[in-house]
Amino acid sequence: MARTQSPDRSKAAKFEQNTGNGGETHQQVSERGDHGAGETHLTTNHGTRVSDNQNSLKAGARGPALLEDFVLREKIFHFDHERIPERIVHARGSGAHGVFECTNPIPELTKAGLLGTKGKKTETFVRFSTVAGGAGSVDTPRDVRGFAVKFYTDEGNWDLVGNNIPVFFIQDAIKFPDLVHAVKMEADRGYPQAASAHDTFWDFVSLMPETMHMIMWAMSDRTIPRSFRTIEGFGVHTFRLVNASGEAKFVKFHWKPVLGLQSTCWDEAVKIAGADPDYHRRDLFEAIAAGNFPAWDLGVQVFDEAFAAKQPYDVLDATKLIPEEVLPVQVVGRMTLNRNVDNFFAETEQVAFLPSNVVPGIDFSNDPLLQGRLFSYLDTQKSRLGTTNFHQIPVNAPRCPMQNFQRDGMMQTKVPTGRANYEPNSLAEAGEDGGPRECPETGFTTFAANDERNDGGEKLRIRAELFADHYSQARLFYRSQQPIEQAHMASALVFELSKVTLLHVRDRVMARLRNIDEDLAKRVADGLAMPLPAKAPAAREPVEMQASPALSILAHGQPPMEGRKVAILFDEGSDLAAIEAMKGAIEKAGGSVMLVAPKVGALKLKGGTLAADGQLAGSPSVLFDAVCAMLMPEQAKKLAMDGAAKQWFMDAHGHCKTIGFCPATKAEILDKLGIEPDAGVVPLDRFAKIAPARHWDREPKVRMLA
């Protein structure tokens, strides 16, 4: 675009004379330094150049504003309508662009092009989210995390719309409005926000035994993740893969984070919410901006009807999973997020995911929850984005050619030509453009065969018999956790149920817990100082399933340094060379370092000066995966009297993180706080080797667990 000429100064001078003392002149704007002369012209939405964007049109310097001021009216009109309805669920989210590369093609299983050739790359857009809270809530509540991926394939958009948990609360979509109403803010009081610890949610849970498996996951550390970069993702439902010969198999989709799984502890999550409500959003944005691109491997569990028939659960039940030890996950590709959004509203807020967006080679199953979602999401986009043409918004538009006979509607931006807006037509015979035609050979065709276990194919308001087993997999999940993880789950249940004021609801939940594990139920009852009620009757007795270590976060081992954030606390007089050496060792191992000090300006150190990245009170230890301190005795003594500094170390210790100490830190701060050396409270020479680890054996010493 050509640069514009400077405005006519004689006209500007006349304007200055006419404004008097009632308005800001062009000269004043110019003196401010933001006049924009020589830049592109400011215009209205319809292209009319704006001469003054600082003052509304008035009848005299002190007179009323005039209705004819179309610049003012358009600007205020647009501002008044900037906000669109937020998503009813998954309202608070963060998005990023990326690329998916097929690493292990499976053309024998699916004709989907993105999975058919090794090295094939497909553009993606991903949105992570919390479920229960509004757009203005915080990032770190105990909540499920959405994990939605839009693949812009050569054959159209495929949306894999899932969560960071492989199962769901309910089995049938008809219960979804009830679930969401129950977990959202209570209708008569408008709180709590982004929290399930209240009466209506647990009342619903206590009356719906099918929720119990998901409740085990919800009360686990999976729902208080450390980062979007360290969560798994799941398609939740059973889908189908269809190959070029028309043969189909069932499939479940998994996303495995390359950085590994990592969560917080509850006290830490609460404090992060206060220290940085945008913690996950900031973490994702800054990691990508720094070139530390997060990545996930896409895996599949593929099976046939014979395998499904042998399982003690129904694979079409969204409250059930297939343990990886029974059916291993086969990795087929890797997704890397490598670009932040350019505009949060235009992309992250306007992106519209639809489970009904599939491509040839990927199809649906008869999962009743999935079937309801196929309707719901499309209907939702019209409500949020105001038009059936939401697919024309750039973030939603397919990257392959798109053409059909759908016309008009609100916000239509395409300009179709010719008379052809129906099909079939014979306009081509008259030399006109007849438009696109269906393609039976390459177009999407639904897999025709029904499930072998579908008795008679009658459409009934009923659930299959195996759907009545609500406890076997809840028991499997709980018993697959390591002892400290089980303690976290029990403590989470105690916390949540302590917020429930309806005593009969508490009793119902504990009665259901007895079907999962007697010890768990007893721990929760003890934590609430309530007697253990009689076991709830089970519609179908649970079966024992072999424990699945893949369901445990801690069974995956301690996380590597790669992708983790470590804080180095220093102050005046600290050794600059030692700080730089520690920083270099952490960064060499793949971690990132934030320098923290009581003051953010350049401080005089031994060997030079150094400015901090963050001020101590504004950079609490909950924001980091590990911390160390490199202080001189005099500064350590001062910090020992500072509440923020003491809390910095106490939180790191209480959250079972690695703490590296210098002699002054140990003598003046740690010893006085009663923080004793252990496997994770170590001298600086050992710190970098074990920094990201959590030392869970410390937890019973620092807090009461159920």
What residues are labeled active site?
A: 90, 163
Amino acid at 196: S
Residue 606 gets which letter from DSSP?
A: B
* Angle ∠(508,512,516) on CA atoms, nearest 5: 160
Sequence-distant (6+) residues with CB within 8 A of 41 are: 4, 49, 50
Sequence-distant (6+) residues with CB within 8 A of 397 are: 391
**Closest-CA residue to 496 (of 196, 156, 180):** 196
- Between CA 266 and CA 224 the distance in angstroms is 7
- Evaluated on CA atoms 587, 590, 591, 594, the torsion sign reads positive
H or E segment and range at residue 578 = helix 576-588
DSSP H helical segments within 386-451, as ranges?
Answer: none
Q: Are strands 592-597 and 565-570 parallel, antiparallel or unpaired?
A: parallel
- What residues are paired with 301 via a beta bridge? 252
- Between CA 239 and CA 330 the distance in angstroms is 15
Sequence-distant (6+) residues with CB within 8 A of 623 are: 272, 275, 276, 279, 565, 567, 594
Amino acid at 210: E
DSSP for 270-304 reads HHHHHH-TTHHHHHHHHHHHTT---EEEEEEEEE-
CA 677 to centroid of chain Cα atoms: 36
- Between CA 498 and CA 458 the distance in angstroms is 45
